[in-house]
């Protein structure tokens, strides 16, 4: 049972990572009230997730002081996710931050 839960959790993390990557790297289709491509390029993230002492830490954009240091070890992530975190992973809203922490902290 524990292996099943662990496997499902890892699948969820992988799916979430792929969806976030696609959302951040592919151009968005404008919808009514949606931001234009220029607006999105000018929009700054609220947070950047970076690696600090081998764990993920959440920094307010432009700050060198972590707002939250998690217990999520970089070594526990897939290689692809590790590379994203080593570059710095942007989060654009409180909802993205909550979702990120839930998905990677599980």
Which pLDDT band, with edges at 50, 70 and 90, does 86 fall under? Answer: very high
Based on the number of CB atoms within 10 Å of its own CB, is 52 exposed (0-12), middle (13-18) or buried (19 or more)? middle
Distance CA 5, CA 13 (A): 12
Which pLDDT band, with edges at 50, 70 and 90, does 21 fall under? Answer: low
Instruction: Please write the tens of the pLDDT for every residue from 65-83.
Output: 999 999 999 999 999 999 9
Give Cα separations from 51 to 15, 73, 84, 88, 92 (angstroms).
21, 9, 10, 8, 18
Where do the structural domains in the chain lie, given as residue ranges?
2-105
Per-residue model confidence (pLDDT) at position 29 = 45
């Amino acid at each position: 049972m524990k292996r099943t839960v662990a496997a499902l959790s890892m699948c969820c993390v992988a799916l979430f990572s792929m969806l976030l990557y696609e959302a951040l790297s592919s151009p968005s289709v404008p919808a009514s009230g949606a931001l234009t491509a220029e607006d999105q390029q000018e929009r700054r993230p609220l947070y950047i997730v970076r690696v600090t002492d081998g764990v993920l830490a959440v920094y307010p954009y432009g700050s060198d002081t972590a707002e939250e240091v998690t217990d999520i070890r970089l070594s526990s992530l897939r290689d692809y996710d590790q590379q994203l975190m080593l570059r710095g992973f942007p989060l654009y809203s409180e909802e993205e931050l909550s979702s990120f922490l839930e998905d990677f902290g599980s």
